[in-house]
Amino acid sequence: MVQLLRLLAFPFDTLAVPKCKSTPYDSNWPSEGEWVALNKSIDGTLVKTIPVASSCWPGNPFNSSVSCEVVKANWPLAAFHSELPESIDYPIYANNSCLPPGAAGYDEKRGCSLGGLPEYVVNATSEQHVATAMKWASQRHIRIAVKGTGHDLNGRSSGAYSISIWTRNFNKIEHNASWSLLNGEKENVLIAGSGNVWGDLYGAAAEQGRVVVGGNDETVGLGGFIQGGGHGPLTSTYGLATHQVLQATVVTTEGRILVANDRQNQDLFWAVRGGGAGQYGVITEYVLKTHPPPELVTVGTLQIAPRTDSGSLSTNATWDAAATLLSSIPDLMDSGLAGVTMLGTGRSAMSLYPSLKEPPSGVVMNQMFFGYNITPAAMALLVDPVITHIRSHSNNSKLAITWAEPAIYRNYTSFSKVISGTSNVAGGGALMSTRLLGRAELSELSQHKLANFLQKALRAQNESDGTLAIVGLQGGPGTARISESRWGSVNPAYRSAYVHFISMGASIDLTRPKEGLAAAADWLEENKEALFREWAPNTGAYINEANPFNSHWKQDIYGVHYEKLLETKKRYDPSESLYILNGVGSDRWDYDLDSGKLCQIL
């Protein structure tokens, strides 16, 4: 009776949800026969997880059909993991439980086990597969994970003892030049399955003479990227990827297939546009606005390093130069420039500036500017005063400043291919601390203060290794002009942001995932989060590229939207089957990498 009253009084309360999600060691875990029945009900799309690197271990315990040589050669490639049902880019978040030799964190004594990988994967090709499997799993208190590419920097596309919905095969792409909005306006759209990667969309848009807002790297997927916000080279022109979403098809853990747009399921539509992926439901399809491409793109590169003969005398001059450069960015972006600033210290700086013979004293800068419909001459006119300013502020004889003749790309595709990079990034441990920064944090403080913040932002746990900071010019006019109705649930801090600042520098012991991450998180909290709270107390961080262990994550990631997102989450995932690190309501749960258990703590 008391139980019943409680249930009535707290319809969404935790009482309905058992303390821990099920594991195969629990008596209520489904029998073999039940899994077979599930498989039948979803057209045989259920896959038992086979860690791909099993072939590298004695006896190939999971019978992987991919040879160890192939696994070893491809382990650093994001695209390799993306084509596998279970694999993720940063396996430390799956407990590094089955690595190939040579991989960061490999330990011969570890053996090969599922660790933090799912038990089963649904290789879904229809909404019905997703709906049936999720309803089945949530009724049995089984954790549900969602994987598109597996690129998530914090392993959010995996989870021990889970059933994973793999969206890779939702890969339809259709064009519609006059898709109707609620207000009668017509938009030129691509209707795209969530399993596509940006490279696929860029090609499809180019065929129509259009562009879409995606990321720099073509291998990133639509699924998680869009729901977290999604920034890229066109963000300072057209806003975030999520601002282009006109409709989403969402499957809930209760097995409902919902079309969410301005007309229906508006609360869900709002939440999936910026409120973070993998927590409200599984998106199978997006309707995305396309835009006219720029007719030409100019790419200019400004490099600044200490002169090799100046020794440590140039240290202060480099920090002053970095401060001058960053303080000029809001004005440059208002004038139409986009791009990325890379800052480097110690040995890490040598990757930015290959001509350096030894780790520099101070900081090295590599500033890439993108100008859409801006000629090289016009770009030079914008950048020249900044260079002059740097020369006058910082004793010029101490700095090597290079501004090469900018390159011109006559169409957007050729530009996009060049900046896409090699995606040679997977396989290690990703941990960063990040912040959105606006005029107040870049242009409206003293150069001295800014230089001081930058020095702290580039601090590394191992000083001789040094570190990099990546500053994306991905805000400014593009995000500022988005209407309220298209904004969604993106942290409003993004409205006044000009750049997204990624700071790194923690050293992670990859052989002990749980302890290694905890120690690195402590260092980041003390050295980076504390800095950002002082530098930018009122802004925020971008969920897809943030420190998941930041003690102020609710405020920093979700800002004022947290409570409303939590209510929406409860409405659409009442069994709390979808758990992700930093998800709304995730503070009620503890996911222990050692035991693999996901249990309520509150």
Ligand X SMILES: Cc1cc2nc3c(=O)[nH]c(=O)nc-3n(C[C@H](O)[C@H](O)[C@H](O)COP(=O)(O)OP(=O)(O)OC[C@H]3O[C@@H](n4cnc5c(N)ncnc54)[C@H](O)[C@@H]3O)c2cc1C
Sheet with strand 120-123: strands edge to edge: 46-48, 120-123, 162-166, 143-147
User: Does 152 engage in binding with ligand X (CB under 6 A)?
Assistant: yes
Strand partners, 43: none
User: Does 212 engage in binding with ligand X (CB under 6 A)?
Assistant: no
Say how far residue 583 (Cα) sits from the centre of its chain: 14
Cβ burial of 24 (10 Å; 0-12, 13-18, 19+) is: exposed
User: Does 230 engage in binding with ligand X (CB under 6 A)?
Assistant: yes
Q: Which of 6, 19, 172, 410 binds ligand NAG (CB under 6 A)?
A: 410
Nearest 5°: the CA angle 375, 381, 383 is: 100
Nearest 5°: the CA angle 39, 40, 46 is: 20
CB closer to ligand NAG out of 411 and 600:
411
User: Does 351 engage in binding with ligand NAG (CB under 6 A)?
Assistant: no
Q: In one letter, which amino acid is 210? A: R
Do the beta carbons of residue 429 and residue 92 sit within 8 Å?
A: yes
Find the shortest distance in angstroms from Cβ 598 to ligand X: 14
User: Does 424 engage in binding with ligand NAG (CB under 6 A)?
Assistant: no
Q: In one letter, which amino acid is 21? A: K
Find the shortest distance in angstroms from Cβ 572 to ligand X: 12
DSSP letter string, 483-521: -HHHHTTS-GGGGGEEEEEEE------TTSHHHHHHHHH
Q: Which of 22, 49, 74, 123 binds ligand NAG (CB under 6 A)?
A: 123
Find the shortest distance in angstroms from Cβ 268 to ligand X: 12
Do the beta carbons of residue 544 and residue 229 sit within 8 Å?
A: yes
User: Does 464 engage in binding with ligand NAG (CB under 6 A)?
Assistant: yes
- Cα separation, 51 vs 325, whole angstroms: 46
User: Does 180 engage in binding with ligand NAG (CB under 6 A)?
Assistant: yes
User: Does 63 engage in binding with ligand NAG (CB under 6 A)?
Assistant: yes
Indicate which of ligand NAG, ligand X, none lies near residue 17 (CB less than 5 to 8 Å, by partner kind). none
Strand partners, 299: 370, 407
Q: Which of 105, 115, 371, 505 binds ligand NAG (CB under 6 A)?
A: 115
- Cα separation, 567 vs 193, whole angstroms: 27
User: Does 277 engage in binding with ligand X (CB under 6 A)?
Assistant: yes
Which tokens hold the place of 562? 């947290």
Q: How many Cα atoms are found within 13 Å in the side-chain-facing hemisphere of 536?
A: 32
Indicate which of ligand NAG, ligand X, none lies near residue 147 (CB less than 5 to 8 Å, by partner kind). ligand X
**Burial state string for 176-188 with b = 16 or more CB within 10 A and e = fewer than 16:** eeebebeeeeebb
Find the shortest distance in angstroms from Cβ 220 to ligand X: 5
CB closer to ligand X out of 55 and 194:
194
Choose one: 222-230, 407-415, 490-498, 588-596; the region binding ligand X (CB under 6 A).
222-230
Q: Which residues bind ligand X (CB under 6 A)?
A: 78, 89, 146-153, 156-157, 167, 194, 215-217, 220-221, 223-225, 228, 230-232, 277-278, 282-283, 423, 425, 544-545, 580
Q: Which residues bind ligand NAG (CB under 6 A)?
A: 39, 44, 46-48, 63, 65, 85, 95, 97, 113, 115, 123, 125, 160, 169, 176, 178-180, 206, 310, 313, 316, 347, 395, 397-398, 410-411, 413-414, 462, 464-465, 512-513, 593-594, 596
